[in-house]
């Protein structure tokens, strides 16, 4: 389909109502005036925006509009290889200088300092840079400048990196990547897109000459292909002057080649591709109907926004229908959804796509049903009630963004400016977008949306692509191209009827029938800044009013007991408890009816069972807070059994678990669980043979039992609520919850960590060789602020050591890390230290040795420099965390349960850490002698 037609359709939408008809001119979308955009004479573009949320930090980006599509055949993989070299030596930062320098600012490599290479873009970033020192900002610009044209690309550094990239290929080489790699030339006939997956060819990576890489760098990394983006707590004028000073001198060579968009040819005949892989656990059926992408220059017109709105509501309405279908046991797929987006990798071509995850052996039926539903939509359109819900959802999502407009984070702006530079995505001021769409969306009738469907959903073979990524299995008969074509033909031949939208027309809950309770007592905690209400039914409510996010209210209710109170007969029920309750209905509403009833609302609630506690977790916007309370009320009092949904879950579990042994990662995870907990069936991962023990009625009974006594619960509510509004709601929906006089329960001691030194080494047969190590050290220790800070610091320092020795020096792993925390799942809390390392199979022995040496050396001597970097990072992170609602919910939970204030003296405790105190702490931990090691290596083929 040609996009021109889609564009015209969008215009027609407009002309359907008088109100908008006068806007036929299609005004351009304004660019947010809060961002300074400029272009230097050499073509370099820059975006600078002052943003104070959060304060005192800034993000720096450089985006290049080139990627693997710009490689020559001899350079396949070098766009991505180059990205790695950006951290291995440049004009102003020798060796690992960029990583080292950033660490000194508390900016960690891998999270805040990172980059990615895709087929048509390469983007580098340094994020969360503290802005208090001007010199730090200058240095970050210097890093961007080095990336733009000052990389050293020395031969020996290149040689060192070959292994790292080769490892990354091996690690990423999962079933999907293998199949996509094989499928690409077939789904992109006659196009370079078929030959340019960024990871490239290992034959090139292992042997290319340095000059080939330098040639790519010099040819494409030029100011006219680059944008510098700076967002954060910065002085825009100063930043602009600095950018000019640093970058204006860079020259673009005469006759530099232009970046030309790579076209994707249309296909007259349908393309059918069937790929299979032994490690694939669930198949995927993908139907794509290609159409041209909106040309970049047309994206600045208001028509683009309207088109975007239309495809958004269309996908949503089809998705709702698909979800409804899955509730029928006869439905051939577990889940399916539709979308209009980029055709696989290519920005010059979009597609309307339907993706289904078929039940075992139902690939062809899934294909037929996906096509049938697309056809049904095309022939009959959507109903007014479906559209009302989709529009309400769209507008409430937009309203949520608008409400929070003053609290947008730096990366939200950074990504938007990147997309504006690379693909001309509009960046209107949020208030203009909000007001415009609020005016336009209600004036677009469902008929206008329906008119667009034939443009998106084609009825012929032209530009149709069917891609199936399937599980390979002995004895399985695979469909041929003819079978796939026959499934499509069968769907085309069907005589369909219009969809009927069944909606439950009643309120979620009749509040008049609930007897209100009372707030009986009120106290204040001035240290952590909250109010505590004692309710007439015994429940406790804690109100922590914040203004971190204007559109957010979070609630968590908890009490003690959890899974620990149940015995062996329920082990499997407990393992699926959260999913089974999650798919159940509430009150009179099945889960589908509930979903429909919640259209236009930004709200959610869930129950969950942890080992020692039960939780209700919910969130909403300030506007939908009453619905959040109603859902919570129903979770406590009236979870509705939904047999269809439950059956669906069982079929899905059956298939996933049957195929678990195919995935090395799943095999490894099973071994870790079994070894860690001493083969205690309570903690083993769920297995297919366990499924027969699952009893839905019993799960519902457990939910009822755990939540029958609201008097034992503490509800912590944090966020932007209005106290006068929330008090009556608390009396109506929380104080009214049933409660018994039973005194608070405690959990039972059931935790069984393996004791002493436990080693489990095994070999596994896999499609591509994989090796993974997981080490754990633990000890019973007092749960205190000081110990909690220390175990965290130990994990971070160890992570730093491993990154340096295992990854950077030896290339023995692509990634590796460590983490320290307290496990509070038993009466005696435990300090836990864990290391995780997906290894290079050829160097597995070396990697394991380095894991051991790392911790042994640290127990002898802690490096002062490393400790300082970790302290800086923790102090900076503390400021970021203190502005999150879930941080306060956790902090208050710990305070209520253990009487520990982890907030007030946190920074003081971090500052007091010394190399000796860390070393002593680590020795104390290791003295317990508890260490658990699980190592998986590949069987020789
Ligand atoms: Zn990489």
* pLDDT of res. 941: 60
List the single range of 334-348, 378-392, 646-660 with lowest mean pLDDT. Answer: 646-660
pLDDT recorded at residue 175: 87
Calculate what percentage of the chain has a pLDDT beyond 90.
80
Question: Cα separation of 307 and 200, whole Å?
Answer: 35
Statement: residue 4 has pLDDT above 90: no
> Is the torsion defined by CA of 266, 267, 272, 276 positive or negative?
negative
How many whole angstroms from 438 Cα to the centroid of ligand 1?
42
Of the pLDDT bands very low, low, confident and very high (cuts 50, 70, 90), residue 570 is: very high
From residue 889, give the alpha-carbon distance in Å to each of 613, 719, 823.
15, 10, 18
Instruction: Give the distance, in angstroms, between the CA of residue 782 and the centroid of all CA atoms in the same chain.
Output: 34
Q: How far is CA 433 from the centre of its chain?
A: 26
Ligand 1: distance of its center to the CA of 286 in Å? 27
Q: How far apart are CA 302 and CA 304, in angstroms?
A: 5
The DSSP 8-state label assigned to residue 805 in this structure reads I
pLDDT of the residue at 11: 47
The CA-atom distances, in angstroms, between 419 and each of 176, 197, 291, 478 are: 27, 21, 21, 41
CA of 68 to the centre of ligand 1 (A): 13
Q: How far is the CA of 390 from the centre of ligand 1 (A)?
A: 39
Q: What is the CA radius of gyration of the chain?
A: 29
Predicted pLDDT of residue 254 = 86
**CA proximity to 137, closest of 218, 60, 27:** 60
Q: What is the pLDDT of residue 5?
A: 45
Instruction: Decide if pLDDT at 3 tops 90.
Output: no
Question: For 471-495, what is each residue's pLDDT tens digit?
Answer: 888 888 899 999 999 999 999 999 9
The answer on pLDDT for 558 being more than 80 is yes
Contact 37, 31 (CB under 8 A): yes
Q: What is the structure's pLDDT at 16?
A: 45
Is 716 within 8 Å of 555 (Cβ atoms)? yes
Query: Ligand 1: distance of its center to the CA of 168 in Å?
Result: 6
Condensed to tens digits (0 to 9), the pLDDT of residues 781-816 reads 999 999 999 999 999 999 999 988 998 888 888 788
**Beta-carbon-side half-sphere exposure of residue 435 (alpha carbons within 13 Å):** 7
Residue 1 pLDDT grade (very low, low, confident, very high; cuts 50, 70, 90): very low
What pLDDT was estimated at residue 130?
92
For residue 46, how far is its CA from the centre of ligand 1 (angstroms)? 26
User: Cis ω on the peptide bond leading into residue 54 (within 30° of 0)?
Assistant: yes
Distance 76 CA to ligand 1 centre (A): 14
Mean pLDDT of the chain: 93
pLDDT of residue 25: 56
Taking the centre of ligand 1 as the mean of its atom positions, its distance from the CA of residue 409, in whole angstroms, is 26
How far away, in angstroms, is 812 Cα from ligand 1 center? 15
Residue 6: pLDDT above 60?
no
Q: What pLDDT sits at residue 496?
A: 97
The rounded distance, in Å, linking the Cα atoms of 172 and 755 is 34
Is the pLDDT assigned to residue 177 strictly greater than 90?
A: no
Per the CB < 8 A criterion, the answer to whether 172 and 163 are in contact is no
Tell me: pLDDT of 920 over 90: yes
Q: Which pair of structure tokens corresponds to residue 243?
A: 């950018």
d(CA 197, CA 119): 7
pLDDT exceeds cutoff 90 at 664: no
- Across residues 280-303, what is the average pLDDT? 91
15: pLDDT confidence band, cut at 50, 70 and 90? very low
- For residue 539, the CA-to-ligand 1 centroid distance in Å is 51
Strands (E), 481-552: 519-525, 530-535, 540-545
> What is the pTM for the complete model shown?
0.82
Question: CA–CA separation, 868 vs 694, rounded Å?
Answer: 51
- Ligand 1 centroid to residue 176 C-alpha, Å: 18
Residue 755, C-beta contacts closer than 8 angstroms, at least 6 positions apart? 678, 930
Task: Compute, in angstroms, the gap from residue 640 CA to the centroid of ligand 1.
Answer: 47
Q: Answer yes or no: is pLDDT of 106 > 90.
A: no
Average pLDDT over residues 191-220: 95
Q: Is 437 exposed, middle or buried (0-12, 13-18, 19+ CB in 10 A)?
A: buried
Cβ 403 vs Cβ 550: under 8 Å:
yes
- Ligand 1 geometric centre to CA of 117 (Å): 8
Please give the distance, rounded to the nearest whole angstrom, from the Cα atom of residue 466 to the centre of ligand 1. Answer: 30
User: What pLDDT sits at residue 394?
Assistant: 96
Q: With 70 as the cut, is the pLDDT of residue 764 above it?
A: yes
Check pLDDT > 60 for residue 634.
yes
Question: What are 90-102's pLDDT values in tens digits?
Answer: 999 999 999 999 9
Q: How remote is the CA of residue 25 from the centroid of ligand 1, in Å?
A: 46
Q: Look up tokens 């019973």; give the residue.
A: 780
Centroid of ligand 1 to alpha carbon of 910 (angstroms): 33
180 Cα to the center of ligand 1, angstroms: 18
Ligand 1 centroid to residue 167 C-alpha, Å = 9
What is the Å distance from ligand 1's center to 85 Cα? Answer: 10
Q: Is the pLDDT of residue 14 over 80?
A: no
Q: What pLDDT, in 10s, does the model give residues 587-623?
A: 999 988 998 999 889 999 999 999 999 999 999 999 9
Q: Give me the residue label for tokens 């992570």.
A: 799
DSSP track, 148-203 = HH-B---HHHHHHHHHHHHHHHHHH--HHHHHHHHHHHHHSTTSGGGG--TT--HH
């Amino acid at each position: 389909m040609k996009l021109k037609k889609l564009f015209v359709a969008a215009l027609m939408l407009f002309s359907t109502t008088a109100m908008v008809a006068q806007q036929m001119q299609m005004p351009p979308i304004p660019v947010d005036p809060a961002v300074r955009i400029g272009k230097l004479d050499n073509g370099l573009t820059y975006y600078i925006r002052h943003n104070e949320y959060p304060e005192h930090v800034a993000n720096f980006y450089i985006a290049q509009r080139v990627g693997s599509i710009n490689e020559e055949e001899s350079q396949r993989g070098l766009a991505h290889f180059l990205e790695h070299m950006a951290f291995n030596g440049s004009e102003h930062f020798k060796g690992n200088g960029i990583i080292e320098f950033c660490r000194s600012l508390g900016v960690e490599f891998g999270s805040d300092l990172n980059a990615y290479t895709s087929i048509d873009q390469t983007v580098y970033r340094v994020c969360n840079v503290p802005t208090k020192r001007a010199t730090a900002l200058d240095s970050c610009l210097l890093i961007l400048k080095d990336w733009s044209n000052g990389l050293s690309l020395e031969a020996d550094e290149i040689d060192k990196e070959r292994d790292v990239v080769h490892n990354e290929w091996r690690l990423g080489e999962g079933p999907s990547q293998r199949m996509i790699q094989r499928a690409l030339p077939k789904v992109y006939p006659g196009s370079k897109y078929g030959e340019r997956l960024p990871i490239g060819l290992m034959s090139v990576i292992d042997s290319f000459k340095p000059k080939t890489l330098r040639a790519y760098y010099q040819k494409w990394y030029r100011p006219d292909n680059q944008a510098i983006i700076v967002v954060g707590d910065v002085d825009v004028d100063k930043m602009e002057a600095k950018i000019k000073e640093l970058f204006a001198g860079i020259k673009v060579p005469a006759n530099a080649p232009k970046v030309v968009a790579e076209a994707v040819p249309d296909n007259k005949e349908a393309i059918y591709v069937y790929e299979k892989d032994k490690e694939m656990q669930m198949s995927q059926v993908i139907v794509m109907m290609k159409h041209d992408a909106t040309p970049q220059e047309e994206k600045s017109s208001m028509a683009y926004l309207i088109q975007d709105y239309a495809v958004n509501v269309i996908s949503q309405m089809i998705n709702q229908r698909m979800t409804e279908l899955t509730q029928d046991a006869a439905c051939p797929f577990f889940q399916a959804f539709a979308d209009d987006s980029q055709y696989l990798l290519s920005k010059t071509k979009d597609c309307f796509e339907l993706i289904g995850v078929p039940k075992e052996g139902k690939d062809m039926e899934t294909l037929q049903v996906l096509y049938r539903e697309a056809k049904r939509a095309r022939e009959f359109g959507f109903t007014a009630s479906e559209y009302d819900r989709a529009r309400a959802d769209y507008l409430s999502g937009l309203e949520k963004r608008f409400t929070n407009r003053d609290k947008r984070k730096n990366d939200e702006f950074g990504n938007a400016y990147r997309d504006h530079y690379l693909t001309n995505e509009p960046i209107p001021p949020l208030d203009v977008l909000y007001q415009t769409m609020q005016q336009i969306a209600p004036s677009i009738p469902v008929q206008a949306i329906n008119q667009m469907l034939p443009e998106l959903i084609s009825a012929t073979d032209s530009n149709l692509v069917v891609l199936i990524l399937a599980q390979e299995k002995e004895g399985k008969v695979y469909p041929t191209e003819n079978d796939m074509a026959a499934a499509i033909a069968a769907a085309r031949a069907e005589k369909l009827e219009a969809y009927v939208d069944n909606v439950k027309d009643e309120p979620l809950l009749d509040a008049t029938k609930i007897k209100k309770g009372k707030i009986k007592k009120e106290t204040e905690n001035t240290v952590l800044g909250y109010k505590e209400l004692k309710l007439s039914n015994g429940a406790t409510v804690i109100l922590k009013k914040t203004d971190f996010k204007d559109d957010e209210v979070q609630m968590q209710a908890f009490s003690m007991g959890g899974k620990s109170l149940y015995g062996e007969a329920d082990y499997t029920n407990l393992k699926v408890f959260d999913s089974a309750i999650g798919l159940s209905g509430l009150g009179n509403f099945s889960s589908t009816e509930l979903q429909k009833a919640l259209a236009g609302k930004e709200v959610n609630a869930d129950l969950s069972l942890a080992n020692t506690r039960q939780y209700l977790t919910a969130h909403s916007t300030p506007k939908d807070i009453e619905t959040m309370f109603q859902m919570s009320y129903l979770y406590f009092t009236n979870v509705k059994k939904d047999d269809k949904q439950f059956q669906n879950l069982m079929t899905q579990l059956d298939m996933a678990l049957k195929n678990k042994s195919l995935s090395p990662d799943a095999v490894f995870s099973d071994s870790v669980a079994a070894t860690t907990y001493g083969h205690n069936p309570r903690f083993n991962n769920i297995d297919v043979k366990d499924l027969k023990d699952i009893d839905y009625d019993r799960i519902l009974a457990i939910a009822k039992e755990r939540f029958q006594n609201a008097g034992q619960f503490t509800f912590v509510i944090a966020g932007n609520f209005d106290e006068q509004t929330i008090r009556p709601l608390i009396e109506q929906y929380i104080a009214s919850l049933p409660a018994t006089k039973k005194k608070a329960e405690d959990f039972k001691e059931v935790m069984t960590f393996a004791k002493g030194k436990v080693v489990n080494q095994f070999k596994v047969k896999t499609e591509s060789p994989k090796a993974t190590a997981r080490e754990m050290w633990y000890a019973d220790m007092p749960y205190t602020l000081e110990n909690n800070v220390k175990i965290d610091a130990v994990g971070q320092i160890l992570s730093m050591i491993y990154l340096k020795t295992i990854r950077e020096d030896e290339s023995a792993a692509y990634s590796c890390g460590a983490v320290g925390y307290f496990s509070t799942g038993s009466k005696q809390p435990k300090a836990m230290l864990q290391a995780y390392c997906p290894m290079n199979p050829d160097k597995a022995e070396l990697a394991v040795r380095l894991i051991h040496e790392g911790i042994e050396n640290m127990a002898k001597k802690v490096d002062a420099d490393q400790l300082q970097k970790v302290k800086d990072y923790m102090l900076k992170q503390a400021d970021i965390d203190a502005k999150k609602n879930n941080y306060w919910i956790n902090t208050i939970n710990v305070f209520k349960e253990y009487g520990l204030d982890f907030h007030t003296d946190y920074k003081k405790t971090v500052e007091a850490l010394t190399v000796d105190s860390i070393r002593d702490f680590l020795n104390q931990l290791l003295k317990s002698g508890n260490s658990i090691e699980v190592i998986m290596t590949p069987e020789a083929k």
